[in-house]
A and B are shown apart, each in its own frame.
Chain A
Amino acid sequence: MAGIVSYGSYVPYRRLKRAAIAAVLGVPATRGERAVASFDEDSISMAVEALRDALKSAPQTPVGSLLFATTTPPYGEKLNAAILGAATQLPAEIRAADLTGSTRAGLAALLQAADAAAASGTFAAVAMADARLGAPEGKLEQQSGDGAAAFVLGTEGVIAEIEASASFTREFLDTWRAPGERFAHSWEERFSLTQAFGPLLQKAVTTVMDKAGLKPDQVARVIFDAPNPRAVDEFVRAAKLDPAKVADPLSLTVGQTGAAHIGLMLTATLPTCKPGDRVLVANVADGADAVILRVTPAIANFRPIHSVGRMVESKGDVSYAGYLKWREILPTEPPRRPNPERPAGPPMLRSEKWKYGLVGSRCTACGTPQLPPQRICVKCRARDRMEPYPFADRVGRVATYAFDRLAYSLNPPVINVVVDFEGGGRFLCEMTDCEPDKVAIGDEVEMTFRRLFTADGIHNYFWKARPKR
C-alpha cells in the first residue's frame, strides 16, 4: 500500500510578532507571532528547502513525479515545479505539475502523489509551500504564516501508510483572489463556518472513519486544518474528540501556512507517533479531504533532518516596517543605483546544474573541489579533468566578509561572505538570515536556496549562505 516514505519541512527564520503589527496599525493585538518568508524567499525557495530534506531522507530510488502545491506560485505561467526539480537535482525524466488555486492543494497533491506511486510502483515527490499576503489590518496578515513541507511517497519503506481517504468538492464563496490582485477577499465568516467548513469537515471525517472501519477512540492523533480555526474547534467539540490528540495548529508560533499547512502539521506530528498509530488528517477549503494514516514500524528509523520544532526555535525578528518593505506593501525610495539586470535564458540553461543545484567541479588530477565549475583547475591547471561536485549540502566557514550599504537590496545592507567549504572549495556569496553585527571570521554556515531578485518578471534564484540552523 502506498504511503509516506520520507518528509521534510521548512519554517523561515524570520518572525513577526502580532503585537508589533497591532502597535503600528492601532488594531487589537492578538497573541503570538507568525513566521515570515524573508525578503529573498518565496513559495519556490521554501519548497526547495523542505524538498531537499525529504529527498535526502528518502531511499536512493528514482523519483518518477513531482507535484508542487501552492496558492502563491511565483510564476503565473511557467512550471514552478521545474525549478524545484532543478534545485534538488531530480532527473529530467519526471512528470511534474503545479497544483494551485486553493489551500486544499497541499493535501490534494499528497493524495495524487500517493496514487501515482501506487500505480507506477515508483516514488513520487510532493512539495507544498505558501507565502500568502494579507492586507494590513486584515485577519489574514496576522493569522497566516509562511512555510513549506515536502514528502516522498512510495510503496516500499513506507513510514505512514494511507489506509483510507475521502474527498468532497463543493462550489461556495469563501476566499477568492483574481489574477493581478495582491490580497485575497473573503466572505462573511458565519456563512462559511455554518454552511461550508463545519458540514464538510464532518462529512469528510465521518466518511473516512467509516471507510477505515475506525471509531474515534482508535485514532491516536488528529490533524485538522481549516481557513477558519473556529470550524476546527467547533468540530472537535461536537465530535467529542480528545483535545489532547489534536495536533497543535502552530497558530502561536508559525501561523497558518496556506497550502503547506496540513503538511507542516503532519511533519510536526509524525515524530511523536508510534508504530500502529492511526492519524486522522483532514483539510477543508473549497471542499474537504480526509485521510487515515497508519504509522508503520519503519517510523522508528526515521529522523527528520530539520524538525519543525527546531525550525520553530531557530528564529529572529523582523519589524513590521521591515516586513512591509520586504513585501513592497510600503514603497521605498530606490537607491541611486541601476536596477538589477535580468538573468539571460541561454546562460541559465548552460549553467543549470550550477545555478540551481550548486554543483561545482572537482579536479580528478589533484582532487581540488572548486566552484563555480572550472575547466582549468585552479590548483594544478589540468585541463578538462573535472567531475561534478555538489556543494549544496556542505558546510563551510567564513573566511572574510563585507557589508554592502550601496548595493540594491530590499534588506540592506547586503551581507557578503567568503565561504571556505569543509573538504575544499571557496565561494563568495550573499549571507542571509543573520544580523550584520553577528558576522565573524570562522562562523559556520550552510547553503540555502533563495530568490536573489526579480527583473523583468524573471525571478533570479540562486544560493546563499546562512548561519547553521
Chain B
Amino acid sequence: MASRGIKDRVAIIGMGCTRFGEHWDKSAEDLMVEAAYDAYESAGVDPNDVDAYWLGTMGSGVSGLTLSEPLKIQYKPVTRVENMCATGSESLRQAAYAVASGAFDCVMAIGVEKLKDSGFSGLVVTNPPNDGTPANMTPPALFSLLAPAYFKKYGLDPEKGRDVLARIAWKNHKNGARNPKAQFQKEVPIEAIKNSPKIADPLCIMDCSGVSDGSAAAIVVRAEDAHKYCKNPIYIKALSFVAGPAEGPISQEYDFTTFPEVVATARDAYAQAGVTNPREQISLAEVHDCFTPTELVLYEDLGFSPRGTAWQDVMEGFFDLEGKLPVNPDGGLKSFGHPIGASGLRMMYEMWLQLRGEAGPRQINNPRLGLTHNLGGQPGRCVSFVSVVGSQLG
C-alpha cells in the first residue's frame, strides 16, 4: 500500500479566477459563472466539452445543483466537495484523479465562497447539535496558539516575534499590491500592521487573511491530450491530502510549533514529485497563510527552512518576491483574500500564471516547480493538502 501519485499524467489547460473581495453586487452564482466561463475561454473549450465537474464550497450551497443550476450543465456529474479551508484544493484533487483514472477526458474543478453576505465578522462555522462542551474559539484565536509556543521554543521575545509576524503580512501585502485580482492591492507599512486592532493577541487584524467572496476554476485533461488544447499547459507532479487524527488538542506530545498533517503531506508530495531538497528545488510556493503564525510554521513543515530558523529566513527576505524562494507571490490569503472554497484553486491560478510567464509585474524569473499548500482546521487538528506542479514533463 502506498500513495503512488499521478505524476505527469494530468495537466491543467485553462483556468479562471474572479477578483477576490467584497462583491456586494454579485451572488455566489454570479461568481461561479464568471470563473467557469473564464476557464472555458482560457482552455478554448465549449461547456459541452466538459464531461464532469467538482465543486468545492464550504457553505455557499449544497450538492452539485449549486453549480449545475446557474451554469445549466446538461445532465452531467457534478460533485460538491468540502474539506474546510482546503475545499478548493480538494475539488482539484478529485477532478485530477477522475481524469487520471480514465473515467473522463475533460473535467472542471471549481471553488466558490460568498462570505460577505452573513453580516458577521470573520468566518462562521455551524456545528451539528452537541453537548455544549467544544471550546468557543474563533479561527484567529485557534491559530494564535502557535505564537507563544513558537516564540518560547525558539527564544524569540514577544517584540521580536511580533516583528517576524508583521514582516510576513508586510511581504504578502507588498505582493498583493502587484496583483489586479487581489482583495487588498496596497502595501501596508510594518508599523501599521503592528498597530492595527488586536484580534487574538499577539495577532492584530492585519495578521488575518481577508474575508472575501470569490471563485476560481481549472480545466483538467490527461497530460497526453494537453497539447490538443494548449501549447503551454501545466502538469501535476504531486497531489497529497491527509486528515489528521486530531491528537494535538488532547495529547501532551504536540507542542504547537508544527502541523504534523502538513509534514505528512509534504513528505508524500515530494516523494511523488521526486523533490529531495525543497528549499533548492521549489521555485515558488503558495501556502495557507490564514494567519501570520501559520505561514511561519509552514516554512518549516514544508521543509523550506530548518526547524527553528524560519523566522530568520523571514527577516532576511528569503521568501520575498525577489528572494530565493518567493512564497505567496500573489499576495496569499492575507492580501488576495480567502473565500474558503475558492482559495485552493486561486493558489493554483498563480501557478498557472507564473509557470507560463503571465504574472506581469510580479513574474518570477524562469520558475520550474511550484508548490501549493492548503489546510483547514486548527493547529493539531487539521486537514492538509500539498501539490507540486511544473511547466515541463519529466
Chain B CB within 8 A of A436 CB:
yes
Indicate if the CB atoms of A418 and B145 lie closer than 8 Å.
yes
Within 8 A of B (CB), among A331-354: 335-338, 340-344, 346-348, 350-351, 354
The B-contacting residues of A in range 312-362, CB under 8 angstroms, are 335-338, 340-344, 346-348, 350-351, 354-355
- Chain A residues lying within 8 Å of B255, measured Cβ to Cβ, are 399
Instruction: Digitize A295-311: 1 where CB-to-B-CB distance is under 8 Å, 0 elsewhere.
Output: 00000000000000000
Interface residue total, chain B, C-beta cutoff 8 A: 38
Does A351 lie within 8 Å of B145, measured CB to CB?
no
Whether A182 sits at the interface, judged by CB under 8 Å, is: no
Contacts of B145 in A (CB 8 A): 400-402, 416, 418
B30 CB contacts on chain A under 8 angstroms: none
Residue B70 is within 8 A (CB to CB) of chain A in the complex: no
Closest to B254 in A: A426
The minimal Cβ–Cβ distance linking B259 to chain A, given in whole angstroms, is 14
Q: Mark B251-267, 1 if CB is under 8 A from A, else 0.
A: 11011100000000000
Report which residue of B126, B141, B145, B251 has the largest number of chain A beta carbons within 10 angstroms of its beta carbon: B141
Q: Which of A14-22, A23-31, A85-93, A404-412 has 4 or more CB atoms under 8 Å from chain B?
A: A404-412
Q: Which of A348, A402, A427 contacts B141 (CB 8 A)?
A: A402
Q: Is the interface of B mostly helix, strand, loop or mixed?
A: loop
Cβ contact of B135, chosen from A337, A342, A351, A429, cutoff 8 A: A429
Decide if A424 touches B200 in the complex (CB within 8 Å).
no
The residues of A that contact B124 with a CB separation of less than 8 Å are 337-338
User: B132's closest neighbor in chain A, by CB?
Assistant: A343
Q: How many CB-defined contacts (below 8 Å) exist between A and B?
A: 134
A197 located at the interface, meaning its Cβ lies under 8 Å from any Cβ of chain B in the complex:
no
A402 touches B133 (CB 8 A): no
Contacts of B252 in A (CB 8 A): 399, 420, 424-426
Whether a CB of chain B sits under 8 angstroms from the CB of A378 is: yes
Most buried by B among A425, A428, A441: A428
Q: Is the CB of A348 within 8 A of B131?
A: yes
Q: Do the beta carbons of A336 and B121 come within 8 Å of each other?
A: yes
Neighbouring A residues of B250 by C-beta, 8 Å: 370-372, 374, 378, 425-427
- Interface residue? B102 (CB, 8 A): no
B24 within 8 A of partner (CB): no
Q: Does chain A have a CB within 8 A of B199?
A: yes
Among B121, B129, B199, B249, contact of A418 (Cβ-Cβ < 8 Å): B249
Partner-A contacts on B (CB < 8 A): 119-122, 124, 126-127, 129-133, 135-138, 140-142, 144-146, 148-149, 152, 198-201, 245, 247, 249-252, 254-256
Q: Which residues of A contact B (CB under 8 A)?
A: 335-338, 340-344, 346-348, 350-351, 354-355, 370-372, 374, 378-379, 399-409, 413-414, 416, 418, 420, 424-430, 436, 441, 452-453, 460-462
A-B contacts, 15 listed (Cβ < 8 Å): A343-B130, A347-B130, A347-B131, A399-B255, A402-B137, A402-B144, A403-B200, A405-B199, A406-B138, A407-B136, A414-B141, A418-B256, A428-B137, A430-B136, A441-B149
